[in-house]
Structure 1
Amino acid sequence: MKIAFIYDAVYPWIKGGAQKRIYEIAKRLVNNGHEVHWFGLNWWNGNTTIEHDGVYIHGVGKSVPLYKNGRRSISEALYFARKLILPLSKDNYDIIDCQEFPYFSCFSTKLVSIAKHIPMVITWYEVWGDYWFEYLGRKGIFGKFVEKYSTKLPHLIIPISEKIKSDLEVLGVPKEKMRVVPNGVDFYRIQNVKPHGEEFDIVYVGRLISHKNVDVLLKAVTFIREEIKDVRVAIIGDGPERDNLIKLSKELNLQQNVKFFGFLEKDEDVYAVMKASKVFVLPSTREGFPNTILEANSCGLPAIVIDHPLNGSTGIVKNGYNGFILPLSEKEISTRVLTLLQDSNLLNTLKRNSIEFAKSHDWSVIVKKLENVYKGVGK
């Protein structure tokens, strides 16, 4: 098959969940004999079309900031949507897989799909619904409209989890128009990574932004420290909240307990810290399908995530099997972490479960499932 992916941010120049998913899937589709193209913005130096890991990557326009004042830039989204139409329409494809964000490119892809008679799918990562009003204020009515109308564009929607599928059903998308294909993990590659030299009890990996609630994790550590004085926590990631979080850790007198690694460029370095830890905590209230959970599970770490309507993590963690789903509460988080750290039998059981769960999500399994979905579109 000849396949086109649509997403403005391109891995590895821009790191993030959606682009990492495309990258991992695309290079494996190439290995399976398919011709794969990726249309995004030009984040690299040199020709507008390059080949990377066998994938043809097309820069349809210059790189412009994806975010403005901490939010996805509407002007960037419109720019990408406008610049996409002509390059995408120059060739024929068996299928076009457009990513849900940043929405406007879905409409451009639809125009090309109609003009060229090419089946179109949209991979869906999050459903915001009423959260649009919190994000944009009264202008949220427009975001909510665009989100809902985007669901009517493709021949098929690919939600990345059962939770996202359920959320889309609330928007009125019929079940028969959806096929779930979850995110995956490079399971066998992770097994070859050696643990970091330092040992940690808890690890967090992700952007340091407000809805990730890393401050709640730090406050939970103060309760854990009452019973385990030398508890060790690794915080991996960077973002606008980093200075505030470092300040908070000092105010809570956690300098000896918490280590801020910042952003780690190499995935292997992240995996090494995970392998030197015991529990993964992701206190975020808004996620699609965070790959960090599967990566942590691959390292044998159960994941603690938050029960929230906008948190897709709850569709990945099976409560009591490969982690726990808890309210957003430092006391609840501290109690559960203490139970795991003090009950080696329970921790080892969840470790085995986590590894088995992650193995079933190896990218080779996911790509095979996606191939079957692609083949069935339009039939």
Structure 2
Amino acid sequence: MGIPMRIAFIYDSIPPWKKGGIETRLFELSMRLTQLGHEVHFFGLKWWNGKRNIEINGVYYHGVGNPRELYINGRRSISEAIYFARRLIYPLIRESNIDVIDCQEFPYFSCFSSKFASYVRSIPLMITWHEVWRDYWADYLGKLGIFGKFVEKSLVNLSVYHIAVSRKTKRDLHALGVRNIKLLSNGIDFTKIQRVPSVDEEWDIIFAGRLIKEKNVALLIKALSLLKMEIPDISAVIIGDGPEREKLEALTRQLDLTGNVEFKGFLPKHEDVIAHMKSSKVFVFPTVREGFGISALEANASGIPVVTTSHPMNAAKDLIIDGKNGFLAKPIPEDFSEKILYVLAHSSRKMKKGSLNVAKKYDWEYIVRDYVGYLETIV
């Protein structure tokens, strides 16, 4: 196991009170690190009632400030990010029992606070990168995007230890000039997924995720319109909610697909999403911007192949080996429908085995082992 280490995770949105991709990663790492004998500290906003500093199941939580709205009009709040960064400095410096700081690059300003604390305490700082936005900043913030791009670029110089959670993020960091990058992927609880039973209903196609513009679910619905010409009774289930739902339901009616598409909405239990995957034949992931693509791995772990886009901003494409655990398709209805049709017509035990074998490599047990090994080289 090596020498026990004391690790500080920095992120404003702390699990298990808040949910999301970054929160899931931090929660899974913290549980397993604690089981291995390491000491984990979270520094974030105080999402719980009671004392500012608490301990649950061996994990220490430090609420550095009162909770604030993380999003305003669908975008990350700049004032909240600055507030968190300002409130973080003193508690992080005051905590003496820390060997290494792992700061998530979101929401950016907290990385500068972490750098200051690491300098004062003479402890190493790692920055974990979940995405690199670069030119996407202009789409996200408009004219203010140039400021976001500058701040993102500035993080590169705060540390010599940079972690990328996907191969795409690693490539993007290289483009920013970073050379010392460790790839430590996000993961899944493969064993837990195997224990989930399927639901009684069955579908040909499933999508699960937030119904936002970037997920591009309209592409799936348009592809279904073409698929219906070949398979009149083709069925699809869409799990999730979001601002695009009304538009997607309207498109479904417009294309005469109401009898083929079922909108299930948000399912509060993650096991229910997995159960629906196990009752489907193919997971369709039409996203045009994805930092990792955990749901694609969960689908593979459920034994079904994935069809996703070859879009350059889709990190999930790096998880797919064409013909083994799924297919890549151009983000147009014709190519998407063609790949889906191929899977439906040729779904086989071989592709199920390929999907399971790929997913198994991303089990959290392997990832936390690599994570600890990396920490031991820098602490």
Q: Structure 1-normalised TM-score?
A: 0.96
Measured after TM superposition, the shift of residue 315 of structure 1 is 2.0
CA distance in 1, matches of 2:60, 2:360: 29
Q: Which position in structure 2 is the counterpart of 1:162?
A: 167
Q: Residue 38 of structure 1 is aligned with which of 38, 42, 58? A: 42
Q: Counterparts in 2 of 1:360-375, with a 5 A limit?
A: 360-375=361-376
CA distance in 1, matches of 2:43, 2:265: 30
Residue 295 (1) aligns with residue 295 (2): no
Residue 20 (1) aligns with residue 24 (2): yes
Residue 246 (1) aligns with residue 249 (2): yes
CA distance in 1, matches of 2:133, 2:367: 25
Q: Which position in structure 2 is the counterpart of 1:192?
A: 195
CA distance in 1, matches of 2:230, 2:80: 49
Structure 2: 5+ residue stretches without partners: none
Number of matched pairs: 374
Change in Cα spacing, 1:38 to 1:247, as seen in structure 2 (3 Å) is: same
Measured after TM superposition, the shift of residue 164 of structure 1 is 1.3
Identity, % of aligned positions: 51
What secondary structure does 1:281 align onto? strand
Amino acid at match of 2:335: E
Amino acid at match of 1:105: S
Residue 103 (1) aligns with residue 104 (2): no
Q: Which position in structure 1 is the counterpart of 2:51?
A: 47
Amino acid at match of 1:352: K
What secondary structure does 1:197 align onto? coil
Q: Which position in structure 1 is the counterpart of 2:64?
A: 60
Amino acid at match of 1:284: T
CA distance in 1, matches of 2:91, 2:181: 28
Residue 282 (1) aligns with residue 285 (2): yes
The answer to whether the Cα contact below 8 Å between 2:167 and 2:315 also exists between their aligned partners in 1 is no
Residue 356 (1) aligns with residue 363 (2): no
CA distance in 2, matches of 1:205, 1:120: 35
The answer to whether the Cα contact below 8 Å between 1:17 and 1:290 also exists between their aligned partners in 2 is no
CA distance in 2, matches of 1:127, 1:23: 22
Q: Which position in structure 2 is the counterpart of 1:4?
A: 8
Q: Which position in structure 2 is the counterpart of 1:376?
A: 377
CA distance in 1, matches of 2:114, 2:169: 22
Residue 206 (1) aligns with residue 209 (2): yes
Measured after TM superposition, the shift of residue 13 of structure 1 is 2.2
Change in Cα spacing, 1:344 to 1:318, as seen in structure 2 (3 Å) is: closer
Measured after TM superposition, the shift of residue 238 of structure 1 is 1.2
Q: Which position in structure 1 is the counterpart of 2:140?
A: 135
Measured after TM superposition, the shift of residue 121 of structure 1 is 0.4
Q: Which position in structure 2 is the counterpart of 1:313?
A: 316
CA distance in 2, matches of 1:239, 1:51: 34
What secondary structure does 1:63 align onto? coil
Structure 1: 5+ residue stretches without partners: none
Q: Which position in structure 2 is the counterpart of 1:263?
A: 266
Amino acid at match of 1:218: I
What secondary structure does 2:62 align onto? strand
CA distance in 1, matches of 2:273, 2:263: 12
CA distance in 2, matches of 1:317, 1:51: 39
CA distance in 2, matches of 1:48, 1:232: 49
CA distance in 2, matches of 1:330, 1:71: 29
CA distance in 1, matches of 2:297, 2:341: 22
Q: Residue 79 of structure 2 is aligned with which of 66, 75, 81? A: 75
Q: Which position in structure 2 is the counterpart of 1:216?
A: 219
CA deviation digits over 1:205-253, x for unaligned, max 9? 1111011101111111111111112211111111111122122212222
Deviates more, 1:38-47 or 1:269-278: 38-47
What secondary structure does 1:151 align onto? helix
Amino acid at match of 1:196: V
CA deviation digits over 1:330-379, x for unaligned, max 9? 1111111111101133xx3222111011111110000000000111125x
Residue 90 (1) aligns with residue 91 (2): no
CA distance in 2, matches of 1:172, 1:129: 12
Amino acid at match of 1:234: V
Q: Which position in structure 2 is the counterpart of 1:152?
A: 157
Measured after TM superposition, the shift of residue 36 of structure 1 is 0.4
Q: Which position in structure 1 is the counterpart of 2:120?
A: 115
Amino acid at match of 1:52: I
Amino acid at match of 1:169: H
What secondary structure does 2:218 align onto? helix
Residue 179 (1) aligns with residue 182 (2): yes
Measured after TM superposition, the shift of residue 327 of structure 1 is 1.3
Q: Structure 2-normalised TM-score?
A: 0.96
CA distance in 1, matches of 2:246, 2:66: 31
Measured after TM superposition, the shift of residue 12 of structure 1 is 2.5
Measured after TM superposition, the shift of residue 163 of structure 1 is 2.0
CA distance in 2, matches of 1:291, 1:307: 16
Measured after TM superposition, the shift of residue 168 of structure 1 is 0.6
Measured after TM superposition, the shift of residue 166 of structure 1 is 1.3
The answer to whether the Cα contact below 8 Å between 1:237 and 1:264 also exists between their aligned partners in 2 is yes
CA deviation digits over 1:89-140, x for unaligned, max 9? 1113111100111111111100100000111101111111111112222221
Amino acid at match of 2:127: I
